[in-house]
A and B are shown apart, each in its own frame.
Chain A
Amino acid sequence: MPLETLAITVLWIFLYGYLIVASIDFGAGFFAYYCNLTGRDHIVNGIISRYLSPVWEVTNVFLIFFMIGLIGFFPDTAYYYGTALLVPGSIFLVLQSLRGSFYAFAHYGARNSKAYQFVYGVTGLFIPASLATVLTISEGGFLEKTGDEIVLLTGKLFTSPYSWAVVFLAIVSVLFISASFLTYYADRAKDTAAIKLLRSYAVAWSLPTIFASFLVFLSIHQHNPEHFANMMDVSWMFLLSFACFCGALALLLKKRNYGWAFILVMLQFAFAFFGYGQSHLPYLLYPYITIADSIASPAMSQALVIGLIAGLFLLIPSLILLMRLFLFDARYVEGRPVRK
Protein backbone atom coordinates (compact mmCIF):
# COMPACT_ATOMS: atom_id res chain seq x y z
CA MET A 1 0.00 0.00 0.00
CA PRO A 2 1.42 3.43 -0.81
CA LEU A 3 2.40 5.33 2.26
CA GLU A 4 -0.18 8.09 1.96
CA THR A 5 -3.01 5.56 1.65
CA LEU A 6 -1.72 3.74 4.71
CA ALA A 7 -1.50 7.03 6.59
CA ILE A 8 -4.98 8.22 5.74
CA THR A 9 -6.40 4.75 6.51
CA VAL A 10 -4.87 4.67 9.99
CA LEU A 11 -5.97 8.24 10.63
CA TRP A 12 -9.47 7.46 9.42
CA ILE A 13 -9.58 4.50 11.83
CA PHE A 14 -8.68 6.86 14.65
CA LEU A 15 -11.36 9.30 13.57
CA TYR A 16 -13.83 6.43 13.55
CA GLY A 17 -12.67 5.50 17.06
CA TYR A 18 -13.30 9.08 18.08
CA LEU A 19 -16.72 9.02 16.46
CA ILE A 20 -17.76 6.06 18.61
CA VAL A 21 -16.23 6.98 21.98
CA ALA A 22 -17.05 10.66 21.65
CA SER A 23 -20.64 9.92 20.64
CA ILE A 24 -21.10 7.81 23.75
CA ASP A 25 -19.68 10.61 25.87
CA PHE A 26 -21.59 13.46 24.18
CA GLY A 27 -24.85 11.55 24.18
CA ALA A 28 -24.40 10.54 27.80
CA GLY A 29 -24.04 14.19 28.76
CA PHE A 30 -27.22 15.07 26.92
CA PHE A 31 -29.23 12.18 28.38
CA ALA A 32 -28.01 13.03 31.87
CA TYR A 33 -29.22 16.59 31.38
CA TYR A 34 -32.52 15.53 29.87
CA CYS A 35 -33.17 13.02 32.68
CA ASN A 36 -32.30 15.68 35.20
CA LEU A 37 -34.90 18.02 33.68
CA THR A 38 -37.54 15.32 33.70
CA GLY A 39 -36.64 14.10 37.18
CA ARG A 40 -35.30 10.72 36.14
CA ASP A 41 -31.61 11.34 36.72
CA HIS A 42 -31.36 8.81 39.55
CA ILE A 43 -32.08 6.08 37.01
CA VAL A 44 -29.16 6.71 34.68
CA ASN A 45 -26.53 8.69 36.62
CA GLY A 46 -24.82 5.68 38.19
CA ILE A 47 -24.42 3.92 34.88
CA ILE A 48 -23.19 6.99 33.08
CA SER A 49 -20.59 8.05 35.62
CA ARG A 50 -19.26 4.53 36.12
CA TYR A 51 -18.56 4.34 32.43
CA LEU A 52 -17.32 7.88 31.84
CA SER A 53 -15.05 8.34 34.83
CA PRO A 54 -12.07 6.34 33.62
CA VAL A 55 -12.41 7.16 29.91
CA TRP A 56 -13.29 10.85 29.60
CA GLU A 57 -9.70 11.86 29.10
CA VAL A 58 -8.99 9.18 26.53
CA THR A 59 -11.87 10.35 24.32
CA ASN A 60 -10.21 13.68 23.73
CA VAL A 61 -6.93 12.15 22.66
CA PHE A 62 -8.47 10.24 19.74
CA LEU A 63 -9.33 13.54 18.12
CA ILE A 64 -6.01 15.22 18.90
CA PHE A 65 -4.28 12.19 17.49
CA PHE A 66 -6.22 12.45 14.25
CA MET A 67 -5.53 16.15 13.88
CA ILE A 68 -1.81 15.99 14.64
CA GLY A 69 -1.44 12.95 12.40
CA LEU A 70 -3.26 14.69 9.56
CA ILE A 71 -1.04 17.74 9.85
CA GLY A 72 2.03 15.52 10.13
CA PHE A 73 1.35 13.45 7.04
CA PHE A 74 -0.38 16.15 5.01
CA PRO A 75 1.13 19.51 6.03
CA ASP A 76 -0.96 21.39 3.46
CA THR A 77 -4.09 20.69 5.50
CA ALA A 78 -2.68 22.83 8.31
CA TYR A 79 -2.36 25.76 5.96
CA TYR A 80 -5.76 25.57 4.29
CA TYR A 81 -7.93 24.43 7.17
CA GLY A 82 -5.87 26.42 9.67
CA THR A 83 -6.39 29.71 7.87
CA ALA A 84 -10.03 29.15 7.04
CA LEU A 85 -11.17 27.71 10.34
CA LEU A 86 -9.83 30.28 12.81
CA VAL A 87 -13.25 31.27 14.12
CA PRO A 88 -15.13 27.93 14.04
CA GLY A 89 -12.00 26.16 15.30
CA SER A 90 -11.70 28.55 18.21
CA ILE A 91 -15.35 28.17 19.11
CA PHE A 92 -14.92 24.41 19.07
CA LEU A 93 -11.93 24.76 21.40
CA VAL A 94 -13.90 26.85 23.86
CA LEU A 95 -16.77 24.36 23.96
CA GLN A 96 -14.35 21.47 24.27
CA SER A 97 -12.48 23.21 27.09
CA LEU A 98 -15.65 23.90 29.03
CA ARG A 99 -16.84 20.36 28.64
CA GLY A 100 -13.52 18.67 29.38
CA SER A 101 -12.78 20.64 32.50
CA PHE A 102 -16.35 20.49 33.73
CA TYR A 103 -16.30 16.76 33.86
CA ALA A 104 -13.44 16.84 36.34
CA PHE A 105 -14.95 19.73 38.30
CA ALA A 106 -18.23 17.88 38.52
CA HIS A 107 -16.66 15.03 40.38
CA TYR A 108 -16.11 17.34 43.29
CA GLY A 109 -19.41 18.88 44.03
CA ALA A 110 -20.74 20.60 40.95
CA ARG A 111 -22.59 17.59 39.58
CA ASN A 112 -25.94 18.52 40.99
CA SER A 113 -25.87 22.04 39.68
CA LYS A 114 -28.36 22.69 36.90
CA ALA A 115 -25.98 25.10 35.17
CA TYR A 116 -23.31 22.44 35.06
CA GLN A 117 -25.68 19.84 33.65
CA PHE A 118 -26.83 22.32 31.06
CA VAL A 119 -23.32 23.14 29.84
CA TYR A 120 -22.33 19.50 29.83
CA GLY A 121 -25.45 18.41 27.99
CA VAL A 122 -25.63 21.17 25.43
CA THR A 123 -21.93 21.29 24.50
CA GLY A 124 -22.28 17.58 23.84
CA LEU A 125 -24.54 18.41 20.91
CA PHE A 126 -22.78 21.55 19.70
CA ILE A 127 -19.34 19.95 19.52
CA PRO A 128 -20.30 17.19 17.07
CA ALA A 129 -22.23 19.73 15.03
CA SER A 130 -19.22 22.04 14.83
CA LEU A 131 -16.86 19.17 14.00
CA ALA A 132 -19.16 17.87 11.29
CA THR A 133 -18.77 21.25 9.59
CA VAL A 134 -15.16 20.37 8.82
CA LEU A 135 -16.36 17.34 6.87
CA THR A 136 -18.80 19.59 5.05
CA ILE A 137 -16.03 22.00 4.11
CA SER A 138 -13.88 19.15 2.84
CA GLU A 139 -16.45 18.61 0.08
CA GLY A 140 -15.35 21.87 -1.48
CA GLY A 141 -17.28 24.96 -2.41
CA PHE A 142 -17.01 26.68 0.95
CA LEU A 143 -13.46 28.02 0.70
CA GLU A 144 -12.25 30.75 -1.58
CA LYS A 145 -8.62 31.21 -2.47
CA THR A 146 -7.48 34.60 -3.69
CA GLY A 147 -3.72 34.84 -3.97
CA ASP A 148 -2.33 33.66 -0.65
CA GLU A 149 -5.51 34.39 1.24
CA ILE A 150 -7.97 31.64 2.10
CA VAL A 151 -11.43 32.67 3.24
CA LEU A 152 -14.24 30.58 4.61
CA LEU A 153 -17.52 31.49 2.92
CA THR A 154 -19.57 31.51 6.09
CA GLY A 155 -22.73 32.76 4.43
CA LYS A 156 -22.67 29.98 1.90
CA LEU A 157 -22.00 27.41 4.61
CA PHE A 158 -24.96 28.54 6.67
CA THR A 159 -27.39 28.51 3.76
CA SER A 160 -26.34 25.22 2.25
CA PRO A 161 -28.87 22.40 2.68
CA TYR A 162 -26.00 19.91 2.53
CA SER A 163 -24.26 21.48 5.50
CA TRP A 164 -27.46 21.38 7.58
CA ALA A 165 -28.07 17.76 6.64
CA VAL A 166 -24.62 16.88 7.94
CA VAL A 167 -25.18 18.76 11.19
CA PHE A 168 -28.51 17.01 11.65
CA LEU A 169 -26.92 13.63 11.00
CA ALA A 170 -24.11 14.34 13.48
CA ILE A 171 -26.51 15.19 16.29
CA VAL A 172 -28.93 12.31 15.85
CA SER A 173 -26.13 9.77 15.34
CA VAL A 174 -24.55 10.87 18.59
CA LEU A 175 -27.78 10.24 20.42
CA PHE A 176 -28.42 6.92 18.71
CA ILE A 177 -24.89 5.52 19.24
CA SER A 178 -24.83 6.68 22.82
CA ALA A 179 -28.23 5.25 23.70
CA SER A 180 -27.43 1.88 22.14
CA PHE A 181 -24.18 1.64 24.04
CA LEU A 182 -25.67 2.75 27.35
CA THR A 183 -28.49 0.22 26.93
CA TYR A 184 -25.87 -2.48 26.59
CA TYR A 185 -23.90 -1.14 29.56
CA ALA A 186 -27.03 -0.97 31.71
CA ASP A 187 -27.84 -4.51 30.66
CA ARG A 188 -24.42 -5.66 31.84
CA ALA A 189 -25.02 -3.85 35.10
CA LYS A 190 -28.38 -5.66 35.41
CA ASP A 191 -30.09 -2.34 36.02
CA THR A 192 -33.65 -2.93 34.78
CA ALA A 193 -34.93 0.62 35.10
CA ALA A 194 -31.97 2.07 33.24
CA ILE A 195 -32.25 -0.54 30.48
CA LYS A 196 -35.87 0.34 29.92
CA LEU A 197 -35.28 4.07 29.73
CA LEU A 198 -32.12 3.92 27.62
CA ARG A 199 -33.59 1.37 25.24
CA SER A 200 -36.50 3.65 24.57
CA TYR A 201 -34.03 6.43 23.69
CA ALA A 202 -32.14 4.12 21.35
CA VAL A 203 -35.31 3.14 19.51
CA ALA A 204 -36.52 6.73 19.39
CA TRP A 205 -33.31 8.01 17.78
CA SER A 206 -32.89 5.16 15.32
CA LEU A 207 -35.30 6.41 12.65
CA PRO A 208 -34.05 10.02 12.62
CA THR A 209 -30.53 8.64 12.23
CA ILE A 210 -31.31 6.59 9.16
CA PHE A 211 -33.44 9.39 7.75
CA ALA A 212 -30.58 11.86 8.19
CA SER A 213 -28.18 9.43 6.54
CA PHE A 214 -30.34 9.32 3.43
CA LEU A 215 -30.64 13.08 3.49
CA VAL A 216 -26.85 13.48 3.49
CA PHE A 217 -26.54 10.86 0.80
CA LEU A 218 -28.94 12.73 -1.45
CA SER A 219 -27.58 16.19 -0.76
CA ILE A 220 -24.04 15.11 -1.67
CA HIS A 221 -25.52 14.37 -5.05
CA GLN A 222 -26.53 18.01 -5.29
CA HIS A 223 -23.39 19.44 -3.78
CA ASN A 224 -20.56 17.34 -5.20
CA PRO A 225 -21.74 15.03 -8.02
CA GLU A 226 -18.23 13.68 -8.54
CA HIS A 227 -18.13 12.43 -4.97
CA PHE A 228 -21.61 11.00 -5.29
CA ALA A 229 -20.54 9.00 -8.35
CA ASN A 230 -17.63 7.59 -6.36
CA MET A 231 -20.00 6.67 -3.58
CA MET A 232 -22.10 4.75 -6.04
CA ASP A 233 -19.03 2.66 -6.89
CA VAL A 234 -18.86 1.44 -3.32
CA SER A 235 -22.60 1.33 -2.83
CA TRP A 236 -22.33 -2.18 -1.33
CA MET A 237 -20.79 -0.63 1.76
CA PHE A 238 -23.78 1.62 2.27
CA LEU A 239 -26.15 -1.28 1.70
CA LEU A 240 -24.30 -3.33 4.32
CA SER A 241 -24.47 -0.35 6.63
CA PHE A 242 -28.24 -0.24 6.19
CA ALA A 243 -28.51 -3.99 6.80
CA CYS A 244 -26.57 -3.64 10.06
CA PHE A 245 -28.90 -0.85 11.09
CA CYS A 246 -31.95 -3.04 10.45
CA GLY A 247 -30.39 -5.84 12.50
CA ALA A 248 -29.60 -3.53 15.40
CA LEU A 249 -33.09 -2.06 15.40
CA ALA A 250 -34.64 -5.54 15.31
CA LEU A 251 -32.65 -6.63 18.35
CA LEU A 252 -33.52 -3.45 20.24
CA LEU A 253 -37.21 -3.96 19.47
CA LYS A 254 -37.01 -7.58 20.54
CA LYS A 255 -35.36 -6.51 23.80
CA ARG A 256 -32.49 -8.92 23.66
CA ASN A 257 -28.78 -9.28 22.75
CA TYR A 258 -28.02 -5.63 23.45
CA GLY A 259 -24.30 -6.37 23.06
CA TRP A 260 -24.86 -7.56 19.49
CA ALA A 261 -27.16 -4.65 18.85
CA PHE A 262 -24.39 -2.26 19.79
CA ILE A 263 -21.84 -4.11 17.67
CA LEU A 264 -24.24 -3.85 14.73
CA VAL A 265 -24.60 -0.13 15.36
CA MET A 266 -20.81 0.17 15.33
CA LEU A 267 -20.69 -1.78 12.06
CA GLN A 268 -23.43 0.35 10.60
CA PHE A 269 -21.38 3.47 11.20
CA ALA A 270 -18.12 1.73 10.24
CA PHE A 271 -19.43 0.78 6.80
CA ALA A 272 -20.96 4.17 6.18
CA PHE A 273 -17.92 6.03 7.51
CA PHE A 274 -15.36 4.03 5.56
CA GLY A 275 -17.51 4.04 2.44
CA TYR A 276 -17.74 7.80 2.71
CA GLY A 277 -14.00 8.07 3.35
CA GLN A 278 -13.03 5.76 0.53
CA SER A 279 -15.14 7.63 -1.99
CA HIS A 280 -13.84 10.97 -0.73
CA LEU A 281 -10.35 10.04 -1.91
CA PRO A 282 -8.11 11.18 -3.40
CA TYR A 283 -9.27 14.55 -2.07
CA LEU A 284 -8.67 15.76 1.46
CA LEU A 285 -10.08 19.15 0.59
CA TYR A 286 -11.90 19.30 -2.71
CA PRO A 287 -10.36 20.45 -5.05
CA TYR A 288 -7.27 21.93 -3.35
CA ILE A 289 -5.61 19.09 -1.44
CA THR A 290 -5.33 15.45 -2.45
CA ILE A 291 -3.51 12.71 -0.61
CA ALA A 292 -0.74 13.07 -3.19
CA ASP A 293 0.18 16.32 -1.40
CA SER A 294 1.61 14.35 1.48
CA ILE A 295 5.00 14.86 3.03
CA ALA A 296 7.76 15.16 0.50
CA SER A 297 10.64 13.88 2.57
CA PRO A 298 11.06 10.10 2.43
CA ALA A 299 13.10 10.04 5.65
CA MET A 300 10.35 11.83 7.57
CA SER A 301 7.55 9.68 6.21
CA GLN A 302 9.52 6.58 7.10
CA ALA A 303 10.12 7.89 10.61
CA LEU A 304 6.42 8.70 10.97
CA VAL A 305 5.38 5.22 9.92
CA ILE A 306 7.84 3.65 12.37
CA GLY A 307 6.56 5.99 15.06
CA LEU A 308 3.01 5.10 14.17
CA ILE A 309 3.58 1.37 14.39
CA ALA A 310 5.56 1.61 17.63
CA GLY A 311 2.87 3.86 19.05
CA LEU A 312 0.10 1.45 18.12
CA PHE A 313 1.97 -1.38 19.84
CA LEU A 314 1.89 0.74 22.96
CA LEU A 315 -1.67 1.98 22.62
CA ILE A 316 -3.63 -1.08 21.63
CA PRO A 317 -2.65 -3.25 24.63
CA SER A 318 -3.19 -0.26 26.92
CA LEU A 319 -6.66 0.33 25.52
CA ILE A 320 -7.48 -3.35 25.90
CA LEU A 321 -6.33 -3.21 29.51
CA LEU A 322 -8.51 -0.16 30.11
CA MET A 323 -11.54 -1.90 28.64
CA ARG A 324 -10.92 -5.08 30.60
CA LEU A 325 -10.75 -3.14 33.83
CA PHE A 326 -13.79 -0.96 33.33
CA LEU A 327 -15.91 -2.23 30.49
CA PHE A 328 -15.68 -5.99 30.74
CA ASP A 329 -15.33 -6.34 34.47
CA ALA A 330 -18.78 -7.44 35.59
CA ARG A 331 -18.31 -6.45 39.23
CA TYR A 332 -17.10 -2.98 38.31
CA VAL A 333 -19.92 -2.44 35.84
CA GLU A 334 -22.47 -3.49 38.41
CA GLY A 335 -21.00 -1.02 40.84
CA ARG A 336 -19.90 -3.64 43.35
CA PRO A 337 -16.47 -3.45 45.01
CA VAL A 338 -13.77 -5.24 43.00
CA ARG A 339 -10.80 -6.94 44.57
CA LYS A 340 -8.24 -9.00 42.77
Chain B
Amino acid sequence: MSGVVNFRAKDDASVLGPYRDQRFKGTLREQEKLLLTSKTLYVGNLSYYTTEEQTYELFSRAGDIKRIIMGIDRFKKTPCGFCFVEYYLREDAEDAMRCINGTRLDDRIIRTDWDAGFVEGRQYGRGKHGGQVRDEYRKDYDPGRGGWNRVIATRNAGLE
Protein backbone atom coordinates (compact mmCIF):
# COMPACT_ATOMS: atom_id res chain seq x y z
CA MET B 1 0.00 0.00 0.00
CA SER B 2 2.99 2.29 0.37
CA GLY B 3 3.33 5.00 -2.20
CA VAL B 4 -0.41 5.59 -2.48
CA VAL B 5 0.03 9.23 -1.60
CA ASN B 6 3.29 11.11 -1.43
CA PHE B 7 3.48 12.82 1.95
CA ARG B 8 7.14 13.65 2.02
CA ALA B 9 8.35 16.99 0.84
CA LYS B 10 9.50 16.81 -2.73
CA ASP B 11 12.97 15.32 -2.88
CA ASP B 12 14.98 17.51 -5.22
CA ALA B 13 18.15 15.50 -4.76
CA SER B 14 17.49 13.36 -7.81
CA VAL B 15 16.08 16.12 -9.97
CA LEU B 16 18.41 16.80 -12.86
CA GLY B 17 19.53 20.34 -13.49
CA PRO B 18 19.26 21.85 -16.97
CA TYR B 19 22.95 21.45 -17.78
CA ARG B 20 24.05 18.83 -20.30
CA ASP B 21 27.63 18.28 -21.29
CA GLN B 22 27.82 19.15 -24.97
CA ARG B 23 30.94 17.04 -25.39
CA PHE B 24 29.47 13.92 -23.84
CA LYS B 25 30.19 10.92 -26.05
CA GLY B 26 26.79 9.33 -26.38
CA THR B 27 23.15 10.19 -26.72
CA LEU B 28 21.26 12.60 -24.54
CA ARG B 29 19.30 9.68 -23.14
CA GLU B 30 22.47 7.85 -22.23
CA GLN B 31 23.79 10.93 -20.47
CA GLU B 32 20.57 11.33 -18.52
CA LYS B 33 20.57 7.69 -17.52
CA LEU B 34 24.08 8.09 -16.12
CA LEU B 35 23.04 11.23 -14.29
CA LEU B 36 20.26 9.33 -12.54
CA THR B 37 22.65 6.77 -11.06
CA SER B 38 25.78 8.87 -10.75
CA LYS B 39 27.84 9.22 -7.60
CA THR B 40 29.67 12.26 -8.94
CA LEU B 41 28.76 15.89 -8.41
CA TYR B 42 29.89 18.94 -10.29
CA VAL B 43 30.53 21.85 -7.91
CA GLY B 44 30.39 25.40 -9.23
CA ASN B 45 30.99 28.97 -8.10
CA LEU B 46 34.09 28.12 -6.11
CA SER B 47 36.64 30.80 -5.44
CA TYR B 48 39.86 30.42 -7.41
CA TYR B 49 41.59 30.10 -4.03
CA THR B 50 39.42 27.32 -2.61
CA THR B 51 41.58 24.28 -2.03
CA GLU B 52 40.92 20.62 -2.43
CA GLU B 53 41.38 20.30 1.33
CA GLN B 54 38.57 22.74 2.09
CA THR B 55 36.28 21.02 -0.38
CA TYR B 56 37.09 17.68 1.18
CA GLU B 57 36.21 18.85 4.68
CA LEU B 58 32.80 20.15 3.61
CA PHE B 59 31.73 17.34 1.31
CA SER B 60 32.96 14.58 3.60
CA ARG B 61 30.20 15.63 5.99
CA ALA B 62 27.79 13.93 3.57
CA GLY B 63 29.74 10.68 3.31
CA ASP B 64 32.99 9.06 2.27
CA ILE B 65 34.62 10.72 -0.71
CA LYS B 66 36.35 8.62 -3.32
CA ARG B 67 38.13 11.50 -5.03
CA ILE B 68 38.01 15.20 -5.75
CA ILE B 69 39.22 16.63 -9.03
CA MET B 70 39.82 20.37 -9.03
CA GLY B 71 38.95 22.24 -12.21
CA ILE B 72 41.93 24.10 -13.62
CA ASP B 73 42.65 26.76 -16.20
CA ARG B 74 43.48 25.06 -19.47
CA PHE B 75 46.58 27.18 -20.04
CA LYS B 76 47.80 28.29 -16.62
CA LYS B 77 46.93 25.00 -14.89
CA THR B 78 45.68 26.89 -11.86
CA PRO B 79 42.29 26.38 -10.14
CA CYS B 80 39.54 28.23 -11.93
CA GLY B 81 36.47 27.86 -9.76
CA PHE B 82 34.91 24.40 -10.10
CA CYS B 83 35.53 20.78 -9.17
CA PHE B 84 34.14 17.26 -9.28
CA VAL B 85 33.39 15.30 -6.10
CA GLU B 86 32.95 11.56 -6.39
CA TYR B 87 31.41 9.55 -3.54
CA TYR B 88 31.53 5.84 -2.94
CA LEU B 89 27.74 5.71 -2.47
CA ARG B 90 24.92 7.31 -4.42
CA GLU B 91 22.96 8.04 -1.25
CA ASP B 92 25.84 10.08 0.11
CA ALA B 93 25.92 12.12 -3.08
CA GLU B 94 22.17 12.65 -2.74
CA ASP B 95 22.61 13.95 0.79
CA ALA B 96 25.24 16.35 -0.48
CA MET B 97 22.75 17.60 -3.07
CA ARG B 98 20.11 18.05 -0.37
CA CYS B 99 22.26 19.65 2.32
CA ILE B 100 25.31 21.26 0.72
CA ASN B 101 23.96 22.67 -2.52
CA GLY B 102 23.26 26.34 -1.93
CA THR B 103 25.31 26.64 1.27
CA ARG B 104 28.69 28.30 1.69
CA LEU B 105 32.24 27.22 1.14
CA ASP B 106 34.98 29.81 1.57
CA ASP B 107 32.20 32.35 2.20
CA ARG B 108 30.71 31.75 -1.25
CA ILE B 109 27.40 30.10 -2.06
CA ILE B 110 28.26 27.02 -4.05
CA ARG B 111 26.15 25.05 -6.45
CA THR B 112 26.14 21.30 -6.97
CA ASP B 113 24.75 19.38 -9.90
CA TRP B 114 24.76 15.75 -10.98
CA ASP B 115 27.55 14.80 -13.29
CA ALA B 116 27.67 11.80 -15.61
CA GLY B 117 31.13 10.92 -14.35
CA PHE B 118 34.59 12.40 -14.60
CA VAL B 119 36.63 11.60 -17.70
CA GLU B 120 40.11 12.84 -18.40
CA GLY B 121 40.02 16.27 -19.98
CA ARG B 122 36.93 17.52 -18.23
CA GLN B 123 38.99 19.14 -15.49
CA TYR B 124 40.04 21.92 -17.86
CA GLY B 125 38.17 25.17 -18.29
CA ARG B 126 36.59 25.48 -21.72
CA GLY B 127 36.55 29.26 -21.90
CA LYS B 128 38.41 31.05 -24.68
CA HIS B 129 41.06 32.29 -22.25
CA GLY B 130 41.43 28.98 -20.46
CA GLY B 131 39.05 29.44 -17.54
CA GLN B 132 35.36 28.64 -17.31
CA VAL B 133 32.99 29.76 -20.03
CA ARG B 134 30.87 31.63 -17.51
CA ASP B 135 33.79 33.86 -16.60
CA GLU B 136 34.08 35.00 -20.22
CA TYR B 137 30.64 36.63 -19.89
CA ARG B 138 30.52 37.61 -16.25
CA LYS B 139 29.68 41.31 -15.87
CA ASP B 140 30.36 41.75 -12.18
CA TYR B 141 33.60 42.21 -10.30
CA ASP B 142 34.39 39.03 -8.37
CA PRO B 143 37.59 39.17 -6.31
CA GLY B 144 37.47 35.42 -5.76
CA ARG B 145 37.46 34.71 -9.46
CA GLY B 146 40.15 37.01 -10.82
CA GLY B 147 38.25 40.28 -10.63
CA TRP B 148 36.70 41.46 -13.89
CA ASN B 149 36.21 39.12 -16.81
CA ARG B 150 39.01 39.14 -19.34
CA VAL B 151 37.42 41.43 -21.92
CA ILE B 152 36.53 44.10 -19.37
CA ALA B 153 39.93 43.79 -17.72
CA THR B 154 41.67 44.26 -21.06
CA ARG B 155 39.57 47.27 -21.89
CA ASN B 156 40.23 48.80 -18.48
CA ALA B 157 43.94 48.22 -18.91
CA GLY B 158 43.78 50.02 -22.24
CA LEU B 159 42.28 53.04 -20.54
CA GLU B 160 45.25 53.45 -18.21
| A and B form one complex | no
